Every structure is written in C-alpha cells, then in structure tokens.
Chain A
Amino acid sequence: MNELQKQYTKILADYIEEQTERNLYIGQNFIRQLLQKNIAPEEVIHIHKSAVEEIIDDFPISLRHAYDFLIEVMVHYGLALSEHKSLLQQQEEMQLELQVATNIQNMILKSHVPKIDGVDVGMISVPARKMSGDYVHFIDDKNRYIGIAVADVVGKGIPAALCMSMVKYGMDSLDYSESEPERVLEVINRIVEKSVDDSMFVSMFYGRYDVETSTFAYGSAGHEPALHYKAASQTYEELVAKGLLLGILPDGNYEQHEVQLQQNDLVIMMTDGVTEIRTNLEMDAMAIITSIISEHKHERAQQIVDEVFKQLEKMQNFELSDDFTLVILKKN
C-alpha cells in the first residue's frame, strides 16, 4: 500500500473515532497535498473506499458497489478538471505572449515629442486595455516643419493594435515633414483600405506646423476636430475639415485648411477617448476639457496635457473606458 493511502486511512480512522474540528482540519491539509500531486477525483474516491474497507470490519458488499459506481462516474469529473487545468495553463501562456506583444508594440509605436525652437509640444497617450488603438506620430525636420498625426482605430485590444502598426509603417514611408496634410491622409487611406476588413477603420487628424510662417495646416479623416485656443481673445475654435474615415473607400478626398497661430495660441488634438468620457456629471466633456486647459494655459504644453488627464481620470473614478490621447502644440 502506498504512502498516501496509509496516511489517508490513518486520518479517516482518527475522525471516525473522534469527530473533532482538529481532525477535519488535518484532513483538509491532506487534500491539499493530493491536489498538488494532481491526484484525480476518481483516485481520491478509490483511496477513500480502500480506507473504509480497512477500517470497518463488516463493510457491506452493497456499499462497495456504491463506491465503484461513484469511481466510474467521477472519471468524467476528473476529465473536466484536468481539461480546466490545461486551459488555465494555456491562458497563462497567452497572457505572457500578450505581455511580450505589448512591449513590442510600445517599442514600435513610441513617439518622440519633437523639440524645435518657437513651438512647445506636449503629449499623453494612455491605453484603456493592454494594447492601445491610439497612435501619435511626429515628423520633424528639426528645422522648419513639424508634422503631427493623431489616429484612433475603431475597436480596442489586439486587432486595433495590429492595425495601428500598419498605419505607423505607412507614416514612416512618407517621412517628409513638409508633406501636405491632404496628401498624407490620401496615402494612409490607400494603405488601410487595402488591408483591413469591412468593419475596421481608422480616424486621423493630421496637422503640419510651419515655424517660419506660424501657419498650421490641417486635414481630418473622420477624426474629432482639433481645437484652436486663441490667446488674444481667450476663445476656442474647432478646426473642422471634411474627410471620410480611413479604410472605407479606396479614393478619399480630404479637405485641407490653414490657420495662423499667434503667441501663446494652442492647438489641441485628441481622440474620442477624450471627448466620449462618461462621467457622473451631466456636463459636456468638451466644456470640462476647455476649462481645465484655460486654467493651466500658462504652463508648458506637457504640463497642460498631464493636468487634463489627471483631472479627467479622477472624474471617471480612475477607470478608463477608452484609449486616451491628447496632444497640445503651443506657439511660444
């Protein structure tokens, strides 16, 4: 008789002798061992049956049959249990892979905020789940132009992240900061349209700032309009440009407009994770954002975006329901 059987028989005999809480506790500790050693439920019943047979002298044959019956039916229970265990293990492996994929994505999609005289740029991008469907891309010639793309893939998680990597490679392929926004959007649209399924698409706002002339040219592919804060009049204006989401039709037509920036003017670009916030307050998300920005407008662009995120996060009880991305460009 093996060691486990001996121990179990002893513990059971003790309990039959004296029904104390202590003996029950010992029994539970013993089961812990069996679980660790992956002993199947039908095996446990068999151990129990053998123990009972040994302890009780006149063990009736009918009860023996009853135990055999239980062993038989518990085989299926054991199967379900071991399948469950192996699925759990698979899940752990997948989680590990996902973690690696997330790290790769973060590396690929890392944006470097450009530093160029005459303009100050701040950015924050926080994913709701592990992988983000938001993306910010800067094109910077360290001299005259800065290109800023703020994009949002419909959906979240892994499919959105894969789609975003494609957009990133598209952006890399046209790495000229002087590119016209309408051209940029046309090119990216063609790439996305070819490669994604019917219900997947990307919205993108693209702006190009010319430091020499202080003009901000922009276009939008179905994206939330950017805001232009005018320091002189302390007002906000939407930068609206017509254009269809990327990835729906092969030939997109995108409007391009221009606006002149004055000193301390801000251009605020965001994804709908910022504007679609469901707070407890019955307030327009946009009104909340502009009031936070107005309060901090004298600070550096990075401090302003951090402050907006901090306050909005607090309003949502620190639960993000969507990826959150906010970019602010400030003319010095």
Chain B
Amino acid sequence: MSEKSSVEIVTEWDIVAVRQFGRNEAKEIGFGTVDQARITTAISELARNIYLYAKLGEIEIERLRDGDRKGIAIVAKDQGPGIQDIRQVMEDGYSTSGGLGAGLPGVKRLMDTIHVDSVVGRGTIIRAEKWLNT
C-alpha cells in the first residue's frame, strides 16, 4: 500500500518546495530529526540534478508500508540527457567532478537503497527508499 504525491521541478524554488514537502512527510511517517535532515538532503540532491542538468522533471514522494514497517520513497523522473555510465556515477570520487549524476553515491548513503534507470537521450528515473527502524 502506498500514497504518492509529486512536485514538478522547473525553477530553483521548486527544489525548496519539494524539500519542504518531503520533510513534512518524513516527519509524519515518524523519522527522527537526523533522518529528516538526511531524507531532505537526498531530495535536494535529486531535485538539483533535475534543475541543473535535465531542466525539466518531477519528484514523487511515496509513503511505504510493509506489514508493521514504514518508510519513504523518493522517485526522481526527468526527460533529460540521461546517464551514459551508471556504474561510474555510482562510484565514490565521481561526485566531486560535478556533472549529471553527481551526488548519487551521497543519495545512496543518505537513504537505504537506490535504483537508477536511464536511457541516453530519453531520460532518467531514480528511486531511493529509506525504512524506519523499528
């Protein structure tokens, strides 16, 4: 079972809007202060990637439930240039180089899991999940 809402990313202010939305969701799900900060930072990184490199896209925030466990999913979708070598952008050290996909290893660290789908010239879908420790 899950509920979704999404925010379109067009201007830099949309990054702030989706951060705010994501933080509220995380708080309501029951994440503590530090995890709220981490989830918000992950949302921020993904939104910035869309804003800087894909120009147009959206971030979906999803509440997750699996039996007693609760969690949050961030899904970033864009129709941007796509990522050529996903394995490379997931490597440490790449993040400092800037460019599309920079910061993905960080998102992976902030969340529990990350899944990247990308077709060059078509766009990218990134899904990151984090579960509440029970």
Contacts and interface: CB of A to CB of B under 8 A. Distances in A.
A–B in direct contact per CB < 8 Å: yes
Interface in B34-55: 34, 37-38, 40-41
B37 A71 contact: yes
A83 B95 CA distance: 9
B38 A75 contact: yes
Interface string A73-94: 0011001001100110010000
Contacts, number: 35
B24 interface: no
A72 B106 contact: no
Contacts of A43: 34
Contact of B33 (A68, A76, A86): A68
Nearest to B32: A46
Nearest to B23: A72
A42 interface: yes
Contacts of A75: 37-38, 41, 110
B34 A82 contact: no
Interface in A219-258: none
* A contact patch SS: helix
Given A79-B109, A87-B93, A90-B92, A71 B34 contact: yes
Size category of the A interface is: 10 to 19
Contact of B34 (A42, A86, A90): A42
Contacts of A40: 34
B105 interface: yes
A82 B37 contact: no
A46 B33 CA distance: 8
Contact of A83 (B37, B38, B41, B92): B92
Nearest to A79: B106
B39 to A, nearest CB: 10
Contacts of B33: 46, 68, 71
Contact of B38 (A42, A68, A87): A42
A49 to B, nearest CB: 8
Interface of A: 40, 42-43, 46, 68, 71-72, 75-76, 79, 82-83, 86-87, 90
